Amino acid sequence: MEIKTFGVVGAGQMGNGIAQVAAMSGLNVIMNDIKEEFVQRGLANITKLLGKSVEKGKMDAAEKDAVIARIRTSVSLKDMADADFVVEAATENETLKFNIFKELDDVCKPHVILSSNTSSIPIGRIAAQTRRPDKVIGMHFMNPVPVMRLVEVIRGLATSEETFKTTWDLSVKFGKTPAEANDFPGFIANRILLPMINEAVYCLYHHVGTPEAIDTVMKLGMNHPMGPLALADLIGLDTCLAIMETLYNGFKDSKYRPCPLLRKYVEAGWLGRKTGRGFYVYE
């Protein structure tokens, strides 16, 4: 099946990044969210990033305009009836994702693959909400999407080989390097990354070091480009907590227990960069 129109559900940080790379690959894109202000904010972010590429000489103004022209905004999931492939990039909330997939299953043509950008929720659980579990797969992009090369492609128990190959090839078309993961909570990336971030939060909680000291040790001692607490702020502390809870509930292993300080920050609304305060304060 030829994919000409690519649907993205969610126009936030991840969703608009996915929409951008899809449009840059030559596909027509439907970028959907629940409010017009959300999709316009997402489109403005894409326009801003493409403008920077023009300033740096990575593309010309005509190319930028052509990419933007391929993106159609939407505030109704019914518009996904026109899509040949859909990726869901909504908030990391199981109930929300289940409801989106139930509606997409009703709206989209029977042959359309439904993928999720979930960071941790098992694909099999999502697929079970549909009548097409063989056409449901994980397509986990990294943040920021236009820059990061990895796409984690996650097979559910029922995911067909055709669905997997189509998703793999689409990742390559987007200029990404796909990596295959099987369906366990957190998959590969976040099963490794989030416990490290959680342990960094425990170091802060136990007064082992300041945020600056913890991040400096990991940057200079382990050659990480960004410290774990700064990275948590970038990801969003609510998302970090949601992933840790998925790992803890999925494995019933105490090593995945979310740090109480992480929960405390989320409850206070200190979610990181997007709210102006997390482990660090942002302007």
Q: Tens digits of per-residue pLDDT, 102-112?
A: 999 999 999 99
- Residue 97's identity, in one-letter code, is K
Active site residue 190: yes
Residue 118 inside a domain? The answer is yes
What's the pLDDT score for residue 1? Answer: 73
The reply to whether 85 and 213 lie within a common domain is no
Cα–chain center distance at 20: 13
Domain contains 282: no
Say whether 119 is catalytic.
Answer: yes
Q: In the prediction, which pLDDT does 283 show?
A: 83
Q: Are residues 159 and 27 in the same domain?
A: yes
Same domain, 141 and 215: no
Give per-residue pLDDT as tens, 4-33: 999 999 999 999 999 999 999 999 999 999
Same-domain pairing of 204 and 176? no
Q: Is 129 marked as a binding-site residue?
A: no
138 is in an annotated binding site: no
* Residue 256 and residue 224 in one domain: yes
Catalytic residue among 16, 115, 140, 171: 140
Burial profile 194-233: b = 16 or more Cβ within 10 angstroms, e = fewer: bbebbebbbbbeeeeeebeebbebbeeeeeeeebbbbbbb
User: Is residue 207 flagged as an active site residue?
Assistant: no
Residues 238 and 126 in one domain: no
Residues 41 and 156 in one domain: yes
The total number of structural domains that make up the chain: 2
Question: For position 10, what pLDDT does the model report?
Answer: 98
Residue 281 lies in a domain: no
One of 119, 120, 171, 198 is an active-site residue; which one? Answer: 119
Q: 210 with 147, same domain?
A: no
Q: Residues 121, 39: one domain? A: yes
Quick check: is 280 in a domain? no
Residues 58, 282: Cα–Cα separation, whole Å: 29
Residue 69 lies in a domain: yes
Q: Are residues 178 and 202 in the same domain?
A: no
DSSP 8-state code for residue 122: -
Instruction: Verify whether residue 152 is a known catalytic residue.
Output: yes
Averages of pLDDT over each 10 residues, the chain, 283 residues: 94 96 98 98 97 95 97 98 98 95 98 96 96 98 95 97 98 98 95 98 98 98 97 96 95 97 98 97 93
Which of 45, 74, 190, 198 does the annotation list as catalytic? 190
| Residue-number span of the structural domain to which 73 is assigned | 5-182
Is 92 assigned to a binding site?
yes
Residue 250 lies in a domain: yes
Is 106 assigned to a binding site?
A: no
Shared-domain flag, residues 170 and 64:
yes
